[in-house]
Structure 1
Amino acid sequence: MGLAATTVKHLLLLLNFVFSVLGLALIAYGIFFLISAAENAVSIGENVAGGLIVGLGVVILIIAIFGFLAAIQEAPLRLLIYVGAVVLLILSQLLFLSMASHGTKDGISGSINEGFERLWESERNESGALGYYEKWLHCCGVNSYEDYWIIHHAIPSSCCEENQCQDTQSRVFKAGCKAEFVKYLDDKLLVFKIVCWLLVIGEAVGAVFGWMLYSSVKNQSRRNNAVWM
């Protein structure tokens, strides 16, 4: 194998080592999401996001280890499988990034909507169900403080600064809790989005290097066979 092919091999090994580390980091970050979701009375989107991040981290780790071994062994078939797996991984990450940015009916946005619907149903039956989120996110109701007027409930103290409404709307949080929670989740997902985009770029480079190494190994095999003939 020539100098250029050796360099490609070493770069591919380095890239897959970096992918392994980032895969482990994503798993840890996803677990952090799941722990946050477990602390909430009603899971609202964080469990879906956490599960997706952990799953993606595991897949990245497995593919990176496979690619590392394929490069060391210079096995053409394994290198070809690695390149195909990386291309599929890139497409999956682009889908996850789309879900994280815009949401889908069955994904993160759907989970948030369903979670707040359950909370509001509980609020209609027993006042205070939204209190945890109202105090934490400085919000009121699902869409706004006017939600309480619709169901003929008094605005709770959890909707007000320092839990004191004092019969004045100036102390009432105007924003709805669903919108504020989406902002909170977007901020937490920002790290995931940045890492994911870096991975997509790195994986595209890794796929090119994998194909180059595969071609080099195949060409070397043909030359060796030609010498023996």
Structure 2
Amino acid sequence: MNRCYNTIKLSGLLGNLLYMLLGIGVMCGAGLGLQAAEPNTPEHTYFVKSLVLGGTICMIVMFGCYGLICNLLCVNLIFTLFILICLGAEYLQLHHYNNPSHIATDSAWHQLELAWHGLDSRPELMHQYEATQHCCGYNNSDDYRQLHLLVPASCYQATSNDTYQQKHVYPRGCLETLSNSQRYIQHRDKLFMWSIVGLEIFILLQTTALSVVLFKLRQRQRLARRQVPPGVRREPRSNHVTGSRAQLLNDADV
């Protein structure tokens, strides 16, 4: 039992350490996203909630580590309840709130549409977009040729060799670049969130097992205190009733 308890305790400390690191990562990512997001938007609200969630995770981990170190059953039970609340909050955040990835995708797609359709009036917007995203045209560089336009300088990438420098056109269009970028962001966010959920499930199972082991150890200690070693006679417990009767009998004999 003691070996099982020590194993569960060490795994719990390791899980809480990883959980703390993920909570700090959530806070850092939410802080960076909060700086880039516009105020009073669903994306801004999502990052604020993620920031609060990361701070809550850090506080819960400190509370759980206190219960592990001090071997307190009540603290472990409260910690288990906190983990369940975090799982419920993340479920609500994933399924009942707008996903900011789709909002960001729509916003970026709208920005690309405005830049491409405004090529005649404000070509600098599209050129700036191409220079920052390393792409050329809406689909590819053939879009400029179909419009009987010269390929702008923003479509060229400079590759330097030992003896000469040559310019090449970006092979991908801005729409493909945007799709790949948003797909990578969604995959990264989903992987990060499922990592948190998986670790929380592991911690939930660990703290439940630890609570059961602590309860059994407490029961074993109570039974050990009640048992009398062989050859030792248990003295009857005295209380105020037996004491009063003995005093009355002594007084009567006198």
Say which SS state the counterpart of residue 128 (structure 1) adopts. Answer: helix
Give per-residue Cα distances to partners, 1:167-220, cap 9 Å, x unaligned: xxxx76564434413423544666665555544443332211100111123334
TM-score for both structures, normalised by structure 2: 0.57
| Distance (Å, rounded) in 2 between the aligned partners of 1:105 and 1:203 | 23
Question: Which letter does structure 1 place at the counterpart of 2:106?
Answer: N
Quote the residue 1:28 is aligned against: 28
Match of 2:129 among 109, 115, 133: 133
Q: Are 2:185 and 1:203 equivalent residues in the alignment?
A: no
| Distance (Å, rounded) in 1 between the aligned partners of 2:149 and 2:170 | 14
Q: 1 or 2 for the larger relative contact order (CA 8 Å, sep ≥6)?
A: 1
User: Is the radius of gyration larger for structure 1 or structure 2?
Assistant: 2
Match of 1:111 among 104, 112, 118: 104
Q: Are 2:152 and 1:157 equivalent residues in the alignment?
A: yes
Match of 1:71 among 65, 68, 72: 68
Distance apart, 1:141 and its partner CA: 5.2
Q: Are 2:173 and 1:180 equivalent residues in the alignment?
A: no
Question: Which letter does structure 2 place at the counterpart of 1:157?
Answer: P
Question: Which letter does structure 2 place at the counterpart of 1:208?
Answer: L
| Distance (Å, rounded) in 1 between the aligned partners of 2:110 and 2:154 | 18
Quote the residue 1:166 is aligned against: none
Match of 2:212 among 206, 211, 215: 215
| Distance (Å, rounded) in 2 between the aligned partners of 1:49 and 1:157 | 38
Task: Tell me: CA distance 1:184–1:69, structure 2 relative to 1, closer, same or farther (3 Å).
Answer: same
Q: How many residues align structurally?
A: 209
Q: Note the aligned Cα RMSD (angstroms).
A: 4.7
Task: Tell me: CA distance 1:158–1:28, structure 2 relative to 1, closer, same or farther (3 Å).
Answer: farther
Distance apart, 1:108 and its partner CA: 0.8
Q: Are 2:117 and 1:121 equivalent residues in the alignment?
A: no
Question: Which letter does structure 2 place at the counterpart of 1:110?
Answer: I
The percent of aligned pairs where both chains have the same amino acid is 21
Distance apart, 1:161 and its partner CA: 1.8
Task: Tell me: CA distance 1:70–1:160, structure 2 relative to 1, closer, same or farther (3 Å).
Answer: same
Instruction: Determine if contact 1:19/1:64 at 8 Å carries over to the other structure.
Output: yes
Instruction: Determine if contact 2:83/2:200 at 8 Å carries over to the other structure.
Output: yes
Question: Which letter does structure 1 place at the counterpart of 2:18?
Answer: V
| Distance (Å, rounded) in 2 between the aligned partners of 1:46 and 1:178 | 22
Give per-residue Cα distances to partners, 1:140-179, cap 9 Å, x unaligned: 45666788899x895772652249xxxxxxx765644344
